[in-house]
Amino acid sequence: MPDCPYCSANNHQVKAGKNPSGSQRILCKVCGRKYTPVPFPNGYSSEFKHRAVLMCLEGQSFRAISRKLKISTQTVVNWINAYVARSARAIYRLPKTGEEKRPSPRD
């Protein structure tokens, strides 16, 4: 068993279920805290998202993409909307949402 990241104990470690992503949780009997030694990543890889965006740019519908990739249609829509927002910010040099707009020297 791995060492506890809180108290550094390497004994008295027991399995304590799994977290939503499927990673093993460990309970330290010395300090009573739970931790995940090697967490699994949540979500989809950026390559997978990029593939969906490319399929959309090739002219496929959201529903066709979601059927082929076996994901929710709303997920595809969210990824495409995020791509469009990033592209618009890059083209027009707009600030990210939540950032203050800087006054130009002409103001």
Q: How confident is the model at residue 83 (pLDDT cuts 50, 70, 90)?
A: very high
Strand partners, 26: 15, 35
66-77 confidence digits (pLDDT tens): 999 999 999 999
Q: Name the residue type at position 79.
A: W
> What's the structural domain count of the chain?
2
Q: Name the residue type at position 83.
A: Y
Please indicate, yes or no, if residue 66 is contained in any of the structural domains: yes
For residue 49, what are the contacts with CB-CB under 8 A and spacing of at least 6? Answer: 79
- CATH number, residue 57: 1.10.10
40-60 confidence digits (pLDDT tens): 888 899 999 999 999 999 999
